[in-house]
Amino acid sequence: MRDALASSGTQIVTVALRRADLSGQHDPYANILEFVDREKYLLLPNTSGAMNAEEAVRLARLAVTAGLPNWVKLEIHPDPRYLLPDPIETFKAAEILVKEGFVVLPYINADPVLAKRLEDIGTATVMPLGAPIGSNRGIETRRQIEIIIEQSTIPVVVDAGIGAPSHAALAMEMGADAVLVNTAIAIAADPCRMAQAFKAATEAGRSAYEIGLAEESFSASATSPLTGFLNEQ
């Protein structure tokens, strides 16, 4: 994991709090945090496992008491099958955590109105999903994410479903500010090289967005007009 992190060029690493030791003591059997160099990366605790706002808020508070940053990736998915985020509970928890001074990065479905509502209450980003977590299906919610990016004044991070470097490149070309990738790298035969591939794709997508892509068109635009012979004046 250490090597894959280094070759991905990432700046932020998110860690599920339920897998970490939150008692403030050292637990060799729950030592996931020890694999992340906090000098190099911003550690972003996530509330995975929480099923409602109350549980997520509690986890975020505990993370801070355990000495973790007051940044929180707010994940509330009551459905363990598809891990789709609960918009109502996420909104409630975000309100509380923002008021308490947390930097809140909420994982949401690609719902433009919800994104604006979260922005209004002061979340640091919105993190819409491309497809369900771990599905590797790419940016299935593309049209919705385009609206979110268009309307947003805070960074948009495309969070789930990114299974191939081309998906990451697409998200970045669309104007996303960042992508979050786990499964595709974690289960790769060579996680380190796959992380490099994602890095290259993410940077390529960003460059293309900054330069500005040519408009897509469904018809060919002929260089010589077919109706030029009419010579209409």
Partner 1 sequence: MSFVESFNQLPDHKSTLLKRFSSLIAPKTAQELEAMARESQAITRKHFGRTMRMFAPLYLSNECINNCKYCGFSRDNPILRVTLSIDQVIKEARHLTDQGFRNILLVAGEHPKFVSDGYLEACIEAIRPFVPTIGIEVGPMEAAEYARMVQAGAEGLVVYQETYDRTEYADLHTAGPKKNFDWRLECPERGYEGGFRRIGIGALFGLADWRWEALALAAHLEFLQQRCWKSSFTVSFPRMRPAAGQFRPKFSLTDREYVQLIAAFRMAFPEVGIVLSTREDQALRDALFPLGITTVSAGSHTEPGGYTGEGSDDLHLTVRGKRVELDTPTSGSKECSRATEQFGIADTRSPAQVSEALRTMGLDPVWKDWDEAILSTARLATATAATTMVLP
Residues making contact with partner 1 (CB under 8 A): 17-22, 27-30, 49-51, 55, 58-59, 61-62, 64-65, 70, 78-82, 100-102, 134, 136, 182-183, 186-187
Cβ–Cβ < 8 Å for 92, 102: no
Buried b (16+ CB within 10 A) or exposed e, 33-71: beebeeeeeebbbbbbbbeebebbbebbbbbbebebeeb
Which strands, in side-by-side order, build the sheet including 71-74? 12-16, 42-46, 71-74, 103-108, 127-128
Q: Which is nearer to partner 1, 115 or 181 (CB)?
A: 181
Query: Which residues is 104 bridged to in the sheet?
Result: 72
3-state secondary structure of 20: strand
Assess contact for 129 and 108: CB atoms under 8 A.
yes
**Judged by CB, which is closer to partner 1: 186, or 213?**
186
Residue 99 is among the residues annotated as catalytic for this protein: no
Segment holding 105, helix H or strand E: strand 103-108
CB of 41 to partner 1, least distance (A): 20
**In terms of CB distance, is 130 or 205 closer to partner 1?**
130
Q: Which of 73, 92, 99, 116 is catalytic?
A: 73
Pick between residue 51 and residue 208 the one whose CB is nearest to partner 1.
51
Name the minimum Å distance from CB 158 to partner 1: 19
Cβ at position 183, least distance to partner 1 in Å: 6
- Least Å distance between CB 40 and partner 1? 22
Cα–Cα distances (Å) from 147 to 34, 90, 128, 141, 210, in that order, read 39, 20, 11, 10, 18
- Catalytic positions: 73
